[in-house]
Amino acid sequence: MSHYDLAVVGGDGIGPEITRETIRVVRAAADTVGIALDTVDLDASAVRWMRTGVALPDDQLAACLAADAVYLGAIGLPEARHPDGREVNGDVILGLRTGLDLYAGLRPARSFAGVPKVLTTAADIDYVVVRENVEGMFASRLGGARVGDAVVTDTLIITRYGTERVVRRAFELARTRHLRTPDRPARVTCVDKSNAFASYAFFRAVFDDVAAEYPDVERDYAYIDAMTTYQVQRPERFDVVVTENLFGDIISDLAGATVGGLGLAPSADVGDEHGMFQSAHGSAPDIAGLGIANPTAAILSGALMLSWLGAQHDDAAALAAGERVERAIASVLADPALRTPDLGGPQTTEGFGDAVLRAVEADA
């Protein structure tokens, strides 16, 4: 019987509420395939920052490094800001991305039967944005400059090393997805602005170098501006999309909105050794404590965690548990009476969690 240690960070706002449902469901799914999960609850949050001045203490980061995977609820509160205006959630999220070298941000966008997906397209949406997670425009935390109050610069950094590894991850993902759904072509789309910037032209050139190693996978390109229109007008064209950090931040939010809102969009931040899983949305302080948050994105992030553990440890049971959670979510969302208020339904966070739990246990 395999066993994994999870570091669980509930965080701020609705974070602890959606985390509770996720851990319940993930544990039940693991149970059905004979996997034991040990959890340790950590405290890294905006609330902690307000109390102590530190959002991600060293011992909490060390506990994340020691775990097999990190599950994160949501971090950040609007009032928790540094004097320069930066939000404290970056201390935790960017701190963990850097500290655990989680260089690829995976953001699946998938529509669910029966759930209105905002767009008029009849086709199903099913693609994954792979966002470079540790350099690009966000490297400017190390390279920005201010000249008095007249000029401010930020520095975009693209390295061959950083681009190769994230692009390779995207091609590997396209292969894996193709194995699961052979009727769909394996395709990786490079999103950039190579017609205007040397940095993005370099990103595309490195993409081409890596693509040459994967002759079985189709390659495709889109400029970031055109990409936003394709995501709205013909999203069915996409399979795996790979892009720079800031572009990935933007198009993954758009992708989440097109499939029915932030409450549905999961995310994984992964490197070669570590993985961290959280919903793509923030801590939604406006609805915290009301028991009405939609835990779908959080639970789907838990499913990604199980699948990632399975791939990482060559553990078919963990992969099966991840798929079981995904099936359970799809079956629960198909019933309007089981949806939460953001999707027009009457359910509470816990009521939705109960329904998913039942579906996980009923799935033979």
| Footprint on this chain of ligand ATP (rule: CB under 6 A) | 76, 89, 262-263, 281-284, 286-287, 293-294, 297, 342
Output 280 or 360, the one with its CB closest to ligand ATP: 280
Residue the block writes with tokens 């989440």: 256
> How far apart are CB 43 and ligand ATP at their closest, in Å?
18
Output 157 or 246, the one with its CB closest to ligand ATP: 246
Angular region, 169: left φ>0, alpha ψ -120 to 50, beta rest: alpha
The token duo for 303 is 């499913």
Query: What is the spatial distance between Cα 327 and Cα 306, in angstroms, rounded to a whole number?
Result: 13
Collapse the DSSP code of 151 into the 3-class scheme (helix H, G, I; strand E, B; otherwise coil) and give the result: strand
Collapse the DSSP code of 207 into the 3-class scheme (helix H, G, I; strand E, B; otherwise coil) and give the result: helix
Query: What is the spatial distance between Cα 206 and Cα 160, in angstroms, rounded to a whole number?
Result: 7
Output 232 or 287, the one with its CB closest to ligand ATP: 287
> How far apart are CB 283 and ligand ATP at their closest, in Å?
5
The token duo for 266 is 């999961």
Q: 173 near 186, Cβ under 8 Å?
A: no
> How far apart are CB 170 and ligand ATP at their closest, in Å?
23
The one-letter amino acid at 53: G
> How far apart are CB 168 and ligand ATP at their closest, in Å?
28
Query: What is the spatial distance between Cα 329 and Cα 78, in angstroms, rounded to a whole number?
Result: 30
Output 213 or 335, the one with its CB closest to ligand ATP: 335
> How far apart are CB 166 and ligand ATP at their closest, in Å?
22
Q: Which long-range contacts (CB under 8 A, 24 or more apart) does 49-55 make?
A: 49/80, 49/88, 49/91, 50/77, 50/79, 50/80, 55/80, 55/88, 55/89, 55/91, 55/92, 55/95
Residue nearest to ligand ATP (CB): 282
User: For the stretch 267-288, what's the b/e string if a residue is b when 16 or more beta carbons lie within 10 angstroms of its beta carbon?
Assistant: bbbbbeebbbbbbbbbbbbebb
The token duo for 319 is 């992969």
Residue the block writes with tokens 């902690």: 48
> How far apart are CB 139 and ligand ATP at their closest, in Å?
20
Output 143 or 344, the one with its CB closest to ligand ATP: 344
Output 86 or 146, the one with its CB closest to ligand ATP: 86
> How far apart are CB 33 and ligand ATP at their closest, in Å?
27
> How far apart are CB 249 and ligand ATP at their closest, in Å?
9
> How far apart are CB 203 and ligand ATP at their closest, in Å?
25
Output 8 or 293, the one with its CB closest to ligand ATP: 293
Output 253 or 363, the one with its CB closest to ligand ATP: 253
The token duo for 40 is 């340790």
Query: What is the spatial distance between Cα 7 and Cα 341, in angstroms, rounded to a whole number?
Result: 30
What does the angle CA 292 – CA 334 – CA 296 come to, to the nearest 5 degrees? 40
Output 258 or 283, the one with its CB closest to ligand ATP: 283
